[in-house]
Structure 1
Amino acid sequence: MDNRSISLTNFVSLLFHFLISICLTNALYCYETGNFTTNSTYAKNRALVLSSLASNVTANGGFYTATVGQGTDKVYGLVLCRADTPSDACSKCVNTTITELIEKCPNQKEAISWGGGPPCILRYANRSIFGLLELQPTDAGYNVNNITSNMEEFDQTWSGLMSRIVTKASMGSSKVKFATEEADLTPFQKIYALMQCTPDMSQSNCSYCLQKAVGYYQSCCHGKQGGYVHKPNCIFRWDLYPFYNSIADALPPTPPPSISPPSTNNTISKENGTATTRTVVIITVPAIVFAALVALTCSLFYYRKSKQETKSEDLDENRSKECLKFNFETIRLATEDFSDHNKLGQGGFGAVYKGVLSDGQVVAVKRLSRNSKQEEVDFKNEVMLVARLQHRNLVRLLGFCFEGHERLLIYEYVPNSSLDHYIFDLEKRLLTNWGTRYKIIVGIARGILYLHEDSQLRIIHRDLKVSNILLDEEMNPKISDFGTARLFPTDQSEDATSKIVGTFGYMAPEYAFQGILSVKLDVFSFGVLILEIISGQKCNKFRNGEEEEERDLITYAWDNWIEGTASNIIDPILIGAASTPDILRCIQIGLLCVQADAGKRPTMASVVLMLDSCSVALPASSKPGYFVYSEHMSILSGNQSKSRSAQLSANQCSISELEPR
């Protein structure tokens, strides 16, 4: 080989690693959960938190958390470097990521970034993010080339490797949850994989996060020659060459000695925008022989740590209960002894009061009726269950109080009341243009998706309606009132129940009349919500002009859709806008969700994808499940289906009545 060939080889090798570093540059997500001004206390606290993360991460083994401030100005920060990253590379990644976060998310109260090559996770928020499993947003990438070997054999080898490494990484210690491993694909080629969780995750949460990451890759990128998935609490990457360092010495990776130039088809592409899930394409090369074996003693060490961690998880849950517990006197003072002028409304389980804690934080306090038969242990366990639901589009439970006969639930305060106060009010509906309504639709969809697929539990809400959608100061939607929610087995598609609960007009027909319960019940309710938000009309009290019609909203929407007069469905204040095609697309999504055949209704994952990307083609909708209030009232009343919700309130929250199976 002459000098020119050697130079070309070196150049291509350098070019390859340069391209990889480009592909793994920061993936950013700025949350739309509230903004702050440049010179505010929150801005100063954010700067202090980010500075603390940068200065302490390497001294603490590559993982560090910090908090600064109090009340609504409190900022929580977290940083994690990949465990095989040298200290100097870790510091460089963190500093670069902080600079880009400040530039790209100048006034957002929450943001996350996965820095580039090797990645580091850096995030901050105005809420506690420590120890909480969150699966969105997701950043993913894949090799544009396809697997050329036997796919059946490849899948078997690949799946076995993924299963082993998930177990290995999740059984890590409280300081590091990281693992690398490889598997023989052919005598001359191996599959290399790396997984890591933030150390504040429990073994079970880490395992679940990594399993979701692997599942996401399989759904988006199956058959490709390598890729990665980044989530807020875990990262996963695999490839056909050794891309990681030994965790013991963290030396820079050895480049392949000889690499063929990439073909013209091996292009790099990256999607722009603010969608929750983004896909990035990366370029890889044929694998080379490189051994990076992990000692068996490490596996034994992890196993011992797993036993210790199982015990510590029980202690952590008890500590969590204590952290969630509020003193009754504190809440009594916060609500001015539950005074009437602090009363926000009355719900099915009791009254809701506005309160101001001693640190200035505004809360909503649900005072449960004293005739409730729940015992203290059941009450606390249920609170822990609801407290695990952490999503920006769900009303957040802050804590509870159980003293004597008093049982209180303390929620975040959501100032803008419920959605029905806006879309059904002749004056307030003028404040909700199409941009606001679309944001509300998307937020509700993401909240439901979290309940169905991305939370630690699989939950069917069963009472999704406009009065259970609360709006924060930025008009972001938050799903509330889990009083009729139902735990659902992850390996079960549907169930039957004799107890029909919910609200007339939002119930799927198979549930209302046959008691068939599945996630498609919430999908149906969401479809009704879309039609109500777009039309400004109530589902059971539809008005056409000055007269109230016998038809329900779903029937009216379907009739106009098939007659080609879909514009009749749109709220008059929205007609004429440049966004009319987007509105019509949302009507079609709503009609897909309310189809009579539950099997034809899309999943919430598909709904979110349809809403996020206009390039996704929508299937034709079939006849919806008509639901006329007057026609079915007598049938449903015999099944205890009357809505348990009371009058509208500004913060209509209630304790869950989850029914584990």
Structure 2
Amino acid sequence: MGRNSSIIHAVLLLFAAVALPLAAAQPWPVCGSSANSYTAGSTYETNLGNLAFDLQGNASSTLFASGTVGSTPDTVYGLLLCRGDVSISDCADCGSRVIQDIGQFCNRTKDKILVYNQCYAQFSDNDFLAATNNSGGYSLLISGTNISSGADVAAYDRAVIDLLNATVRHAVGNPNRRLFATGKRVGTDPAFGAIYSLAQCSPDLSPAQCQRCHDDLLAQWWETFPVNGRGARVAGPRCYLESELGPFYTGDPMVLLLADGLTPAPVPAPPDGVPTTTGGKNNSARKILVIILPIVAVAIIAAISLCIWNMCRKDRSAKSEHFSGLSIKSFGSLPDDTDEDFESVKSTLLSLASLQVATDNFHENKKLGEGGFGSVYKGLLSGQEVAVKRMSKGSNQGLEELKNELVLVAKLHHRNLVRLVGFCLENGEKLLVYEYMPNKSLDTILFDIERRRLLDWATRFRIIEGIARGLQYLHQDSQKKIVHRDMKTSNILLDGDMNPKIGDFGLARLFAQDQTRDVTSCIAGTFGYMSPEYVMRGHYSTKSDVFSFGILVIEIVTGRRRNSGPIFSEQNDEDILSIVWRHWEEGTTAEIIDYSLGRNYPEAEVLRCVNIGLLCVQQNPVDRPTMADVMVLLNSDATSSLPAPAPMPTYLIDGTSGYSQTTAQWSDTGR
């Protein structure tokens, strides 16, 4: 495991314990030389961000992605490898963390590694992808504590190496596992009764290459790590190896190693063409490798036989009625390609009993909010805080919303979109379970006289940028083009760090990649955020979302809610949009910026956001920018270079439109 100082220096990080929770917020960064760095706003930085987005999207289904973006001298090479035991959604979440953290660590050095518990990411201007071992860079993480005093250190040494060897052999001998395996050694020594292991290679390697990569790690394992350390991990772009004295992976081990005095089993032969490794130590012939799958099967059968009969019967009845019979046809007409996606979300089905326990049987004290769809409750599900959306019983609207959420959840994985945890259809209940957002929705803070002070300008700009990034993903970067159709402040949720996530896809619609718009006779949405072509003619497209985004930007800048009543009313009340336009024309925009900000904001950046907001609400959808354009404009340094918005349509200002003729076609969802 030779260190290559010309590329990336390995960093030795000491921790009290390596096996941290999967959702560790901060990465362990490994940074290259500051002499090899890029500047802010450079082509290299743009390519780096684009590659991170590409890797996150490509790895969301395979847990691995690598690639390059750009041409010399701004070429960026990158790799994202998620641990083989994490879910697709966890991998997507980790990829989102990479996107968020990539500019915050290593001070713009071109060579950088970010190591998380869920995934490993590496970027460089050098082609480290050409190597089949970890010479291009790696991170060493070890426990800062030792095994119990009095333990047989030599026996511990042998036990760890034996287990790592067995785990590697299983990984390379089972290509269907994508070069990944977990292991466990059960022993009799009280100081290390159980040892856990994990071995993984990037799946683009051959089994033999994976074996050789791990050979390099094992050959110097104890030369690198203390012989009596409680745990150690090597995270690299090509192979990954870890051992701990406590469980750190999900699921059952794939291999089991049994010490003396425990029931033995035959040792399987190594795969053809793959030599047996020694790791520089003598393997103990007394230790027996057991393939875990038969044991797991026996354990499952035993667990089933121990179920209380009535509980099992009740569960089977619920599953039969609400799961086996659940199909895409239960919800009526949908596009032809949605059946497979719907089948993929059946695994997120939750029991009503579990959600009743999670919410104290939907206790009033657990209620987070209420709307026309029903109520939302806070709950604790398997140790995770969740928000449970309980649709009103008998509501067709709720059924329609649930259908859209379930069909789309298989397609959407992005850090600026709220993650759907699961759903329940039981005893007439229609329940959707989301990740919990501690700061609730944007409107609860932005339009509160006191709480809005929590939103300084840096936070507001981050919210604007995050919403734009989420919409760009929906319109352009996701597997399918998706129009949200209900963008508003109450559907922008904020996590504990005030990062925005778009929620509520009940009205969302799938578009074909070459489709530009659609028409509906049933106008559904929230008045004030809907584009004029949608309200008047039922035409909706990605540019409808752009219009709604423009309203959001204006509200975030001014801290004022767009009038909830019709802006086409006979009373001719002036709403915030017309006020902003008037001040924009008069050059007095500073007068309508949220007073709670004081003067603590960069004027040029705020004016740029107002300009972008007005561009987004232009009457002709063709004149509005795309969300990709918006991202470019948001990060533009010169306000003077932005295009000027077209004059505000008269009907948006003085109510002279003949909208009253079409009012009967509009229906506010009340959400």
Question: TM-score normalised to the size of structure 2?
Answer: 0.51
**SS of alignment partner, residue 620 of structure 1:** coil
Q: Which residue of 1 aligns with 2:98?
A: none
Where does the alignment leave 5 or more consecutive residues of structure 2 unmatched?
Answer: 10-14, 29-62, 65-78, 96-108, 131-135, 140-174, 180-201, 205-236, 238-272, 274-336, 566-570
Kindly state the Cα deviation for residue 516 of structure 1 after the two structures are TM-superposed.
1.9
Kindly state the Cα deviation for residue 111 of structure 1 after the two structures are TM-superposed.
8.0
Alignment of 1:263-342 (within 5 A): 320-342=344-366
Pick one of 114, 117, 126 that aligns with 1:101: 114
Q: Which residue of 2 aligns with 1:645?
A: 670
Alignment of 1:461-610 (within 5 A): 461-540=484-563, 550-610=573-633
* 2:419 is equivalent to residue 396 of structure 1: yes
Change (3 A) 1:554 1:65: closer
Change (3 A) 1:373 1:463: closer
Alignment of 1:190-269 (within 5 A): none
What is the identity percentage for the equivalent residue pairs of Structure 1 and Structure 2?
43
Conserved? CA contact 2:373–2:398, under 8 Å: no
Pick one of 114, 117, 122 that aligns with 1:113: 122
Alignment of 1:178-197 (within 5 A): none
Change (3 A) 1:99 1:442: closer
Conserved? CA contact 1:68–1:75, under 8 Å: no
Kindly state the Cα deviation for residue 620 of structure 1 after the two structures are TM-superposed.
1.4
Conserved? CA contact 1:414–1:471, under 8 Å: yes
Conserved? CA contact 1:535–1:569, under 8 Å: yes
* 2:459 is equivalent to residue 459 of structure 1: no
Change (3 A) 1:479 1:99: closer
Alignment of 1:107-146 (within 5 A): 112-115=121-124, 116-119=126-129
Q: Which residue of 1 aligns with 2:444?
A: 421
Pick one of 373, 383, 388 that aligns with 1:349: 373
Where does the alignment leave 5 or more consecutive residues of structure 1 unmatched?
Answer: 1-17, 27-37, 52-56, 79-95, 125-171, 177-197, 201-231, 233-248, 250-312, 543-547, 647-661
Structure with higher Rg: it is 2
Number of residue pairs aligned between Structure 1 and Structure 2: 399
Change (3 A) 1:558 1:314: closer
Conserved? CA contact 1:42–1:73, under 8 Å: no
Change (3 A) 1:73 1:442: closer
1:159-188 Cα distance to aligned partner (Å, 9 max, x none): xxxxxxxxxxxxx99959xxxxxxxxxxxx
Change (3 A) 1:337 1:580: same
Please tell me the root mean square deviation across aligned C-alpha atoms, in Å.
Answer: 4.8
Conserved? CA contact 2:453–2:597, under 8 Å: no
Conserved? CA contact 2:93–2:415, under 8 Å: no
Change (3 A) 1:611 1:43: farther
Q: Pick 1 or 2: higher relative contact order, CA cutoff 8 A, min separation 6.
A: 1
- 1:374 and 1:382 map into 2 onto residues whose CA distance is 12
- 2:503 and 2:352 map into 1 onto residues whose CA distance is 23
**SS of alignment partner, residue 390 of structure 2:** strand
Change (3 A) 1:576 1:462: same
- 2:550 and 2:437 map into 1 onto residues whose CA distance is 24
Kindly state the Cα deviation for residue 318 of structure 1 after the two structures are TM-superposed.
7.7
Conserved? CA contact 2:424–2:431, under 8 Å: yes
Change (3 A) 1:578 1:110: farther
Kindly state the Cα deviation for residue 382 of structure 1 after the two structures are TM-superposed.
5.5
Change (3 A) 1:394 1:635: farther
Conserved? CA contact 1:45–1:74, under 8 Å: no
- 2:620 and 2:25 map into 1 onto residues whose CA distance is 54
Give the residue type in structure 1 aligned to 2:359: T
Give the residue type in structure 1 aligned to 2:128: P
Conserved? CA contact 2:401–2:505, under 8 Å: no
- 2:127 and 2:531 map into 1 onto residues whose CA distance is 48
Question: TM-score normalised to the size of structure 1?
Answer: 0.52
- 1:117 and 1:491 map into 2 onto residues whose CA distance is 35
Q: Which residue of 2 aligns with 1:11?
A: none
Kindly state the Cα deviation for residue 400 of structure 1 after the two structures are TM-superposed.
1.0
- 1:47 and 1:523 map into 2 onto residues whose CA distance is 34
Give the residue type in structure 2 aligned to 1:466: T
Q: Which residue of 2 aligns with 1:407?
A: 430
* 2:388 is equivalent to residue 365 of structure 1: yes
**SS of alignment partner, residue 463 of structure 1:** coil
Alignment of 1:18-33 (within 5 A): none
Change (3 A) 1:109 1:418: farther
Give the residue type in structure 2 aligned to 1:119: L
- 1:471 and 1:622 map into 2 onto residues whose CA distance is 33
